[in-house]
């Protein structure tokens, strides 16, 4: 299986909406590290899994959407706790749609990893079909 990963960082604001959230229940900022890992068993005729510039552009769109935003106010988090796990899933949906990954024959899966800090992160993996 071949993989290609691109990564970046952005700062967004959020607050948890679970019972007894403590200080996490108040709006605050977090610097996220985000990684997009694309995988598939075959390369294209030029020896690529995918266009890495397209992957970087998709990551840039993610960064632009969330940087300096209160993510609780965005439609994808309406009435939903903005857990890092859910955040990964939402990012994956945006990337698959913006890159039209269903039409990229070599890429079968996308994994989004979102780092809350250097010791904690979550990931969401999905088929791109």
Answer yes or no: is pLDDT of 96 > 90. yes
- What confidence tens digit (pLDDT) does each residue in 74-93 have? 999 998 999 999 999 999 99
Where is pLDDT greater, at 25 or 129?
25
The pTM for the full model equals 0.94
Span 30-62, pLDDT tens digits: 999 999 999 999 999 999 999 999 999 999 999
Contacts of 94 (CB under 8 A, 6+ apart): 58, 61, 62, 65
Q: How far is CA 118 from the centre of its chain?
A: 17
**Domains parsed from the chain with CATH numbers:** 2-127 (3.30.479.10)
Secondary structure of the chain in the HEC alphabet?
A: CEEEEEEEEEEEEECCCCCCCHHHHCCEEEEEEEEEEEEECCCCCCCCCCCHHHHHHHHHHHHHHHCCCEHHHCHHHCCCCCCHHHHHHHHHHHHHHHHCHHHCCCCCEEEEEEECCCCCEEEEEEECC
């Amino acid at each position: 299986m071949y993989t290609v990963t691109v990564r970046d960082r952005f700062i967004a604001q959020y607050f948890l909406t679970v019972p007894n959230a403590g200080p996490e229940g108040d709006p605050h900022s977090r610097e996220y590290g985000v990684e997009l890992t694309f995988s598939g068993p075959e390369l294209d005729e030029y020896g690529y899994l995918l266009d890495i510039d397209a992957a970087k552009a998709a990551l840039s769109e993610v960064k632009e959407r969330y940087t300096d935003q209160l993510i609780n106010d965005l439609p994808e988090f309406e009435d939903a706790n903005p857990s890092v796990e859910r955040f990964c899933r939402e990012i994956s949906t945006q990337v698959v749609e913006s890159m039209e990954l269903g039409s990229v024959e070599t890429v079968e899966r996308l994994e989004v990893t979102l780092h809350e800090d250097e010791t904690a992160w979550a990931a969401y993996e999905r088929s791109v079909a």
